[in-house]
Structure 1
Amino acid sequence: MAPRKDVKGLAPVPSTPARSPNSAVSPLPGPLSTSVPVEEREVIKVNNYNTSELKNACDDALKRYLSRPVLFKQIHLHTDVRLVLGWAGVFTAAATGLYGWKTDFEKSKPGVWVGFILYLVLTSLQTLYSYFVEGDTIFVGRRKTFSKRIMTERITISSRTVPVPSSGLSLKPSPTNSPSYSLSINYVQSTSGGKSLLAKGRTHEAKHYSAFFDEKGVMAQEVFERWIGELVEAVMEGKGA
């Protein structure tokens, strides 16, 4: 069967064998079908005893893997909101300080108080947004595809580190004695501008960091990406827990 023609601005769907009449849409290309070329990889090395480094390395690798053009376009809404609130606080503090410096002390009191209160409000909003809205979210991606109709897929991924139980603490990490990388994935597929829900799924799974990093702290990126790909494709197919 000849491959379908690409629709401008949409990800192409490769030709596939005929499906049953009950199937509504053709399968879309998943992460496992779009591996990263070896020549595009860089060695990732971390300190195995630093859980922040381990988590950040996995978060960054996940974002690089899923945000490629053939997969999802990353949505930076959370980052943009935090940046806007952060810079607004910086400019407010700078403007307040400049006003207080150039204006007589007694005359500047009301304006300085207003600036100070506004700064506190902005920084508080930034903190509350990070904690209650963004939370552990590390990746939000979306893509539009065409297979008989235009479909929109949205995926949201949160991550956190699950520490080793106190009874299992040891000086040396091992496959059975290391913190775990925990992921929660939510997936929604819709059409008609989000008005018609086609599919949705969610899953949660954790795996020891030692499964992805060797004794020297070098990351096995292929192993990590295959795990991510299997989780994402499972939730896309409605097999998530």
Structure 2
Amino acid sequence: MVGNRLAQFVRDIAEGLRSRQIPRLASHLNKTYRGPIGGDGLQAVGRGAGDADASAAEQLKHAMEGGQAGHGGAEQPDPGSRPVGSSVIPPAPLLSPRDVENALTNLAMSSADRLRAFGPGSGFSGVYHPGTGKMLAYPSGDTRTLDFPGEPANLVSRYGGHVDVEDKLLRAINRSRGESVGFSAVLREDGSLGCRWTSRSVNLENHDFDGPYVPEHLRPEIMRVMQEITARRVESDI
């Protein structure tokens, strides 16, 4: 499906989502597309409640990125997915707007902009899932934004708050406990971030290593991801 046919296809999809006509959209998709969802998937979404439009839009995004549109097109795995055995991890759904507030994450855009709201000394409790490369961190402890003295949205406890961050990350990527690692990042005077590697609530549950510390071989990967999403220099404080 190329050129004008693709443009019309996208317009029809947008119209269906705006008008909440999910079954109509599914029927059209089933006739014109042979990717990883098909009409039945969107019809199932249409029978849901609440966030049906958002869910359908996210599934559609996965379909258009992950497969070839049109009859006879070969399906391709989503480049954002990583194989696990014979299966493929589906791409993460978008975090809710509430969950994105003050988040440093590669599940949503503009983490660098959100970080500008915080000053030196601000701390963040972070969780990283090595199998998917997904990360989520929230302000922790007594951290405050520069323009508001009250508690920032999504503030977690400095001690034990990693598990709250992990809960949201795992729901977003549809994974289970025992696979993640927890760490902390502190905003320095020069604007860089310093990482620390202790989390009893998350790391002690990981099946792949013993102890409360992130294994050394994972630390460069975590710092690289944090640097990519914040556009700041990131180093280890230990």
TM range (shorter): under 0.3
TM-score normalised by length of structure 2: 0.24
* Rg comparison, structure with higher value: 1
Which is richer in strand? 1
